[in-house]
A and B are shown apart, each in its own frame.
Chain A
Amino acid sequence: MITTFLTEVRTSFNPFRTTGNAARIFLSFLPPNARQTMKVTTKLLPRVSKDPSIVELKFKDGKEMKLDPEKLGIKGIIEEVDRHSRILGRAEELNGN
């Protein structure tokens, strides 16, 4: 997963339901220095709560992404992040950075 263009990650999930797993695994995909380069906030829902899990991302170009981890799964989330990150990477390369 390309994480260099992420600036903010907000997640919320209930660990006691399998619907929260994609969001949890997404957190584990962030690199070891993620907390220094981006803002990561995690909200744990109580055990009985049936609120949907959320993954919200912000990119360097200011684009905000709201993903539904229950529907996309971890593969879908990675695909969405990579799709936008590749666009940003290409733009950066063309600018000569």
Chain B
Amino acid sequence: MQPRISPPSRAVASILRCKRPLKFRRQYATIVPTASHDQITQSSSPIARFPKNQPPSFKPPEFRKSQLLRQYASLLRSTPLMLIFQHNNLKSNEWAAIRRELNNALRKVDKSRIAAGQTEGNIGEGVKIQIIQTNIFASALKIVEFYKPESESSALDPTNPATRSSADLPHFKLDGSNLTHTLSVTAHEATNKKKHPLVPLLCGPLAMLTFPSVSPQHLKTALSILSPVPKVFPAPTRKANPGYHDLPVQLGIRKLLLLGARVEGQVFDVDETKWIGGIEGGLDGLRGQLVAMLQGIGGGLTNTLESPGKSLYFTVEGRRMMLEDEGKPSEEAPVETSS
């Protein structure tokens, strides 16, 4: 028996398989001119085809990877000071104990700063230690460092009734090839071949300690908790802070290894990081040092500038004295010659 639905002939099947529109398409004669398919799909209408906070993405946005990349990029853009630690098999109770001690110590620093009259927000509240995915972090780092899109998309909002219906909204292609956000194709292509000095560090189990602003005081406290060095960053004594000498804290700290830091976009190794933490009196202390140094230079400069004037004055004064001294004999001298 013949099948009721006959299979499509070879010619029809080839047309169905063909994805590109055929060049010579048979068209029916129509009286009403209609907009072509291209005009409908690609005209620039003031209707956005996607929510403003959800532009089409190069990497699938529903994956955890993509969201981590966005999270790391925003973290890197917002934090000027971050320390990189290697954590070698810390247990969860050790992490909890270390976080507790770190928070307590930073809160103490905040209190002392407020007592001293410095109210630059609570920096200690924003200090977080978190474990990172190294490869995604490296990618985010490269995007933050090397990818600077030239212009932000225009601020026209299609949902705003004040926007004219004829306004030319930025037109995004459906493949997202002209987008400039972190997950876009352009960001990927601009950065995936670049090399960053911090990238070799991003290997193995890593944790980040991030600060919301560069504060050597907080850095010093954090270093004295997480990687204490006798005399430079002494760990709190058993009397001052008995909680720090609990077993989980001590075991955990021995397994944390400070590798480096990123400060204001610059890469620092361990010794340089310790130098930053060792700045006396924090940023204000550094400013004080700078002012003192500049004053010293200024004093020297005024001395230098004054000295020719002074020496001229002394020379002229000396000459005047000499002339005055010579004047008396010279008055006498003509008398002598005349007589």
In the complex, which of the residues A21, A31, A42, A47 has the most CB atoms of chain B within 10 Å of its own CB atom? A47
Encoded as 1 (CB less than 8 Å from any B CB) or 0, chain A from 51 to 69 comes to 0000000000000000000
Query: Per a CB cutoff under 8 Å, which of B89, B200, B205 touches A21?
Result: B200
Secondary structure of the B contact surface, majority rule: mixed
Cα–Cα distance between A44 and B274 once the two chains are bound (Å): 13
Residues of B246-263 whose CB lies within 8 A of A = 251, 254-255, 257-260
Q: Which residues of A contact B254 (CB under 8 A)?
A: 35, 40
Q: Which residues of B contact A17 (CB under 8 A)?
A: 200
Cα–Cα distance between A25 and B200 once the two chains are bound (Å): 13
User: Contact between A25 and B269 (Cβ–Cβ < 8 Å)?
Assistant: no
For the complex, is B297 an interface residue (Cβ under 8 Å from A)? Answer: no
Q: Which residues of A contact B260 (CB under 8 A)?
A: 15-16, 47
Query: Per a CB cutoff under 8 Å, which of A16, A31, A46 touches B89?
Result: A31
Number of A-B contacts (CB under 8 A): 58
Query: Per a CB cutoff under 8 Å, which of B203, B251, B258, B271 touches A46?
Result: B271
User: Contact between B269 and A47 (Cβ–Cβ < 8 Å)?
Assistant: yes
A16-B200, A16-B260, A35-B251 as given contacts; A27 in contact with B88, CB under 8 Å: yes
User: Contact between B257 and A16 (Cβ–Cβ < 8 Å)?
Assistant: no
Q: Which residues of B contact A97 (CB under 8 A)?
A: none
User: Contact between B90 and A32 (Cβ–Cβ < 8 Å)?
Assistant: yes
Encoded as 1 (CB less than 8 Å from any A CB) or 0, chain B from 236 to 248 comes to 0000000000000
For the complex, is A95 an interface residue (Cβ under 8 Å from B)? Answer: no
Q: Which residues of A contact B269 (CB under 8 A)?
A: 15-16, 44, 46-47
Interface residues of B (CB under 8 A from A): 86, 88-91, 197, 200-201, 203-205, 251, 254-255, 257-260, 267, 269-272
Given contacts A15-B86, A28-B89, A28-B204, 9 further A-B contacts (CB under 8 A): A16-B197, A16-B267, A24-B86, A35-B254, A36-B251, A40-B254, A44-B257, A44-B270, A47-B272
